[in-house]
Structures are given as C-alpha cells and as structure tokens.
Amino acid sequence: MTQIIDAELTENGLTELSAGRILLIACGALAREILDLKKANGWDHMDLTCLPAKLHLYPEKITEAVIESVAKHRASYDEIFVVYADCGTGGLLQTACDNMGVQMVAGPHCYSFFEGNERFAGISESEFTAFYLTDFLVRQFEAFIIKPMGLDRHPELRDMYFGNYEKLVYQAQTDDPALTKKAKEAAETLGLAFERRLTGYGDLEVTLKAL
C-alpha cells in the first residue's frame, strides 16, 4: 500500500496524533487531487493514505483492501473517511463501510463525482457512448488503458474495444494545456471525437469540505 503522510505524522508517529484528526483512505488515482485540496483549503487536520490505483483494474479486490486499511489505522484516528465511490464493487464497499461505521464518497465512480453526481445522473443516459478520462488517467493513459488492454501489442483490437464509443470526454480537474494536448492525442489513438470539460474537483471537494 502506498502512503502519503503529512510531516507531523512522519515525525510523531501514528500513535501520537492529536485529537480531532481524520484519516482519508483513498484510491491512489486521487492522491494528487486530494493533496491539492488539502493545501488549498488548509486542511491540516487530515492525513492521507492511498491504496494502489491499479486496484481499479481489479474492483473485486477494493473492498477487502479498504477493510484491512481501516482496521490498521482505526485506533490512531478520531475519524476515518473512505475516498472511494462504488467503483465497480457492486455495493459491497458501501456495505462494508456501513458495517465498520465509516463514511465514503457518494456516487458510482470518480467520473460521476468529478462531474457532480446529480449532473452526471442527468447526462449519463445520453452519454452511454462516451469514454471518460480524468487528469490521472490522461497522465497514465499508457499504463492504465493501452497496456492492460494489449493495444500496445495488438493495435488492431482498438475497434473491437472502442467501436461502440463515439467520443472521449476529458474531465479536467485542472486547467493544464499539456494535459489537454495529451487527452486529444488519446482520443485520436482510440479513434474517438474529443470533448473537454473543466469539472474541477466536483463533489469530491464538496464532500471533503463537509468533514
């Protein structure tokens, strides 16, 4: 498990933290966004530990990994918050969080909460032919899309995988021209039309602010 811990945590150790601290157990694909939000909002009472982003390739493993992480850190924090949506667990993660008495981010997946769950629910049925990328997935396009699907070795499989998609929607958390350029290249690679939306952090920011 990859951990991103504040300096206070590193210096004092998990057992010496002051009262009122919150631990965020998050998907590694959200690490940069959460750290940016922590810095921008001065959320010094929050610490972050991340599970490997590659678990998104194996959603059946997410729930158990979260359970283990909660058990590991529960005694050291006043509150633990799970920064995952359902993420393909079929409701199992929500059930586990309910059983453990911890909260998690609402929504089916990160595409929904970045867009805003209410807005995403309203547009999803008209966008069932859209393939979504976030800042993280644009940066990791080769590692999380091309290589796992074998498109680096067998590019001829592209149309089999993506033939039913019509456009690539880049949900931009940051206004970064270099990432936009890379997202356009990803759309070209997949043979899809390109659309960019500057979503910011959406319901992720709203949810963490409520903590």
Sorted by where each starts, the structural domains of the chain and their CATH numbers stand as 2-105 (3.40.50), 111-198 (no CATH)
Other beta carbons within 10 angstroms of residue 72's beta carbon come to 14
DSSP reduced 3-state for 58: coil
CA triple 124-202-34, angle to 5 deg: 130
Q: What span, in angstroms and rounded, lies between the C-alpha atoms of 167 and 89? A: 26
End-to-end CA distance of the chain: 24
DSSP reduced 3-state for 91: coil
Return the bridge partners of 130, or none.
Answer: 167
List all residues 6 or more positions away from 155 whose beta carbon is below 8 Å from its beta carbon. none
Q: What is the pLDDT along the chain (211 residues), one digit of tens a residue?
A: 445 444 344 334 444 445 689 999 999 999 999 999 999 999 999 999 999 999 989 999 999 999 999 999 999 999 999 999 999 999 999 999 999 999 999 999 999 999 999 999 999 888 999 999 999 999 999 999 999 999 999 999 999 999 999 999 999 999 999 999 999 999 999 999 999 999 999 999 999 999 8
Q: Are 80 and 70 in contact (CB under 8 A)?
A: yes
The residue type of 146 is I
Q: Are 135 and 129 in contact (CB under 8 A)?
A: no
List all residues 6 or more positions away from 84 whose beta carbon is below 8 Å from its beta carbon. 25, 26, 27, 62, 66, 93, 104, 105
DSSP reduced 3-state for 149: coil
The pLDDT, as a whole number, for residue 10 is: 39
Q: What span, in angstroms and rounded, lies between the C-alpha atoms of 197 and 156? A: 29
